[in-house]
Structure formats: C-alpha cells, structure tokens
Amino acid sequence: MRFELLFLGKTKEKYLAAGIEDFRKRLSRYAEVEIRIIKEKKWGSGESAEKIKNEETSCLLNSCTQPTMIVALDPGGKQVSSEDFAQLHQKWEEQGRRKITFIIGGPLGLAPSIRQSADTILSLSTMTFTHEMARLLLIEQLYRASSIRAGSKYHK
C-alpha cells in the first residue's frame, strides 16, 4: 500500500517536523510514504477566510495524484479507534486500493466541498489540535495501524 500525505505549507515547529520524519521512516517499513507540501495561501491579502479555505481545499484536491482514494481529516469526520483504523486499512487493501491520499487543511481547516470529493472523512479527536500537530498524530496513527496489522507490540 502507498500513502500520500498532503500538507499545506511546511511544518514550522522543529520538534513536530522531527516527529513526522521519525514516523515517516518507521512507516516506510510497512508502506511507501510520500509527504507532499502544497503551497499555502497567504493571509492578510484582503480575501475572506472562507475564500482562502475554498482555494486551499481546491488546491489540495487538485494535487492528488490519481488514481487514489482520498481520506480527508476534518473535525466533523468519523472517529475510529486505532484498531478500527487498522481494519479500515485492511478493508481498503482488500478492495484493491493501492494508494490512499490523506488531506489535512491549513489553519483554517478544509472547505465544506471536501465532503463531496473525499471517499472518507475521519476525525482524529473531538479536541482541537493545530494543523501541524494533526500531521504528527496522523502519521503516528498510520504507523500504529500498520504495526497492528503486522502483529507488532508497538501499539500496546
């Protein structure tokens, strides 16, 4: 299986960037992992937050390399346990999904239009995290799900 992670802008916090890279390396033992940084829109250009969010969401969707299954992370998405996430991976693989693209929005989040384009919408938590923190949580959960599927002791 191949994972493509689309992020808006670089991860500015060094400790988060280091954690993301650490889990990217760990995850690469189980799957091919590509992290793609998409240029974020600059705030303060006089455009409304909604317009910026719509443009960023559109840019993220247009950056997906096809064919792929799109999984958007959004606070209104479905919450699953780590074990259920691992079962989702298994299900996707059994369905013949070779590549899964995960999309995390920027500080403004994702536009509502993502609901029409994404194959699945997941939520990491009912708590609020920065979009940079969400990146680390996502890749750690991808690694955890992969280790669960492989029977590793990491997830316990």
Report d(CA 142, CA 6) in Å as an integer: 14
Question: Which residue ranges form the domains of the chain, and what is each CATH number?
Answer: 2-150 (3.40.1280.10)
pLDDT, tens digit, for every residue of 44-82? 667 888 899 999 999 999 999 889 999 999 999 999 999
User: 129: helix, coil or strand?
Assistant: coil
Q: What is the mean pLDDT of residues 77-105?
A: 96
The pTM of this model reads 0.93
Stated as kind and residue range, the H or E segment containing 3 is strand 2-8
Report d(CA 142, CA 26) in Å as an integer: 10
pLDDT band at residue 41, thresholds of 50, 70 and 90?
Answer: confident
Spell out a b/e string for 115-128, using b for 16 or more CB atoms within 10 Å of the CB, else e: eebbebbbbbeeee
